[in-house]
Amino acid sequence: MGSGKTGWIKSLMPSGLLGRSLLILMTPMLLLQIVTVLIFFERHWDTVARQLSRGLAGDVVFVIDYLGEYPDAEHFEWLQHSARTRLQLDILFEPDEILEQQITQPPFGLVSQELFTALDERLERPFFFDLDIDNRQLEIRVQLKDGVLSIIAPRKRLYSSTTYIFFMWIAGSALILYGVAVMFMRNQVRPIRRLAKAADQFGRGVEVDTFKPEGAAEVRLAASSFISMRDRIARHLSQRTALLAGVSHDLRTPLTRMKLELAMQGSLPGVDALKQDVVDMERMVDAYLAFARGEEGEKAVPTDIGKLITDQVGESLRDGQQIDLHIADSLEMDLRPQSVRRCLANIMSNAGRYANNLSVRAGRRGQDYEIVFDDDGPGIPADKREEVFKPFYRLEESRNQATGGVGLGMTIARDSARGHGGDVFLEDAPGGGLRVRLVLPLGH
């Protein structure tokens, strides 16, 4: 029950750092403003409305009392003039009229309630008021013994302009503070986004030489650590490639001498077998070097992925494979062409060894470009699919016994895909064989 409530609350929270930071900053400000407004309504607004209502009610009582003392027409004219010029009240007396509408209960609204209370306390007569006869005036009607007295007063007699000024100040200051907070937080979050983008580009093999630490001290520290990590990885890859290249070169020299020695032996017994062993050793050395080299030295460049796939399929067709190709979307992506070509070649080569037919489907899937290889071979058991990606692992018991190879094909394929920020997945093909799904991010 508690976890459900927590999950519901988390679903309402912003997912980004900018949104969460702004929420942390603005929530106290919003609460402070709410408390300020409540205090204003409780103290200032309530007091001002009460005092204004009492003042207007007092003026109404004064007019009624004056009419009671001096009911003649001459004094009424003087009262009308004085009330208009000094009290901002327009007085109209309707003789022999009966007040048809009365207010006996406090109406809805703070101002209406305060005015009702003030009039009810001071008048001992039926009365009615309308605060909305127009945008600037209100009307109070009082039943007298010989008619109805109508009093028109300006609305500002009951409303204080400080109320609107206060709300405008609250709203204006809030917008300014929120704008400043958004501007500063965006500047603080921008270096983090650049760091994330640099890490993503580095993971996909894109050069990030222009990246430099910036922002707050903690962000600069993280950026400096990233640069140090990038340099260490680059040195490690360079050293590994140099080491394997040196080993390959050192092994090629004795292998070349062995080939010459065997060639000079003629057709002696066992020579052909030794020649085949030398060829196998050369092939293994080349495979080890290709695995160690990976994407070293190759830069990511805009590449037509559809053309790249078509060219590689064409090479496989020339090697005798049966391939059905369908490309739904061909677009330009930042790729290391040779690395992706090796990845495609290894996947199609494996399918060519273990299956008669191969179907290749490629197209955009959301934010990724997906290439699906479906073969009609024996497939791979689900519990062994991750094992085939390990270096030098060969699944001999479920695949053709005459496959050859050194167990690096799928390792190189996944290494290339992950070097671009993607991956390689093994699944069941609809026809019962193996499905290899190569996913490459579009890099948006």
Strand-strand pairing, 332-335 and 301-304: antiparallel
How far apart CA 351 and CA 403 sit, in angstroms, is 11
Return phi, psi of residue 373, to 5°: -110, 115
314-371 tens-digit pLDDT: 888 887 788 899 998 888 888 888 888 888 988 998 888 888 889 999 999 988 899 9
Assign domain 212-293 to a CATH class. Answer: mainly alpha
Calculate what percentage of the chain has a pLDDT beyond 70: 87
Q: Does residue 327 contact residue 306 with C-beta atoms inside 8 Å?
A: yes
Q: Best-predicted range by mean pLDDT among 42-51, 78-87, 94-103, 126-135?
A: 78-87
User: Is CATH 3.30.565.10 the classification given to domain 298-441?
Assistant: yes
3-state secondary structure 296-327: CCCCCEEEEHHHHHHHHHHHHHHCCCEEEEEE
Q: Who wins on pLDDT, 319 or 4?
A: 319
Look up the CATH number of domain 14-162: 3.30.450.300
Instruction: Tell me what pLDDT residue 256 has.
Output: 80
Nearest to 271 by CA among 285, 256, 260, 283: 260
Q: Does residue 362 contact residue 370 with C-beta atoms inside 8 Å?
A: yes
List the domain boundaries for the chain.
14-162, 212-293, 298-441
Determine the distance from the C-alpha atom of residue 224 to the mean position of all C-alpha atoms in its chain, rounded to a whole number: 26
- Which helix (H) or strand (E) covers residue 418, if one does? helix 409-419
- The band of 400, judged by pLDDT with boundaries at 50, 70 and 90, is very low
Q: In this structure, what token pair is assigned to residue 444?
A: 């948006």
17-29 tens-digit pLDDT: 777 777 777 788 7
Average pLDDT, the chain: 81
How far apart CA 425 and CA 414 sit, in angstroms, is 9
Residue 7 confidence (pLDDT) above 70: no
Q: Is this model's pTM higher than 0.85 or not? A: no
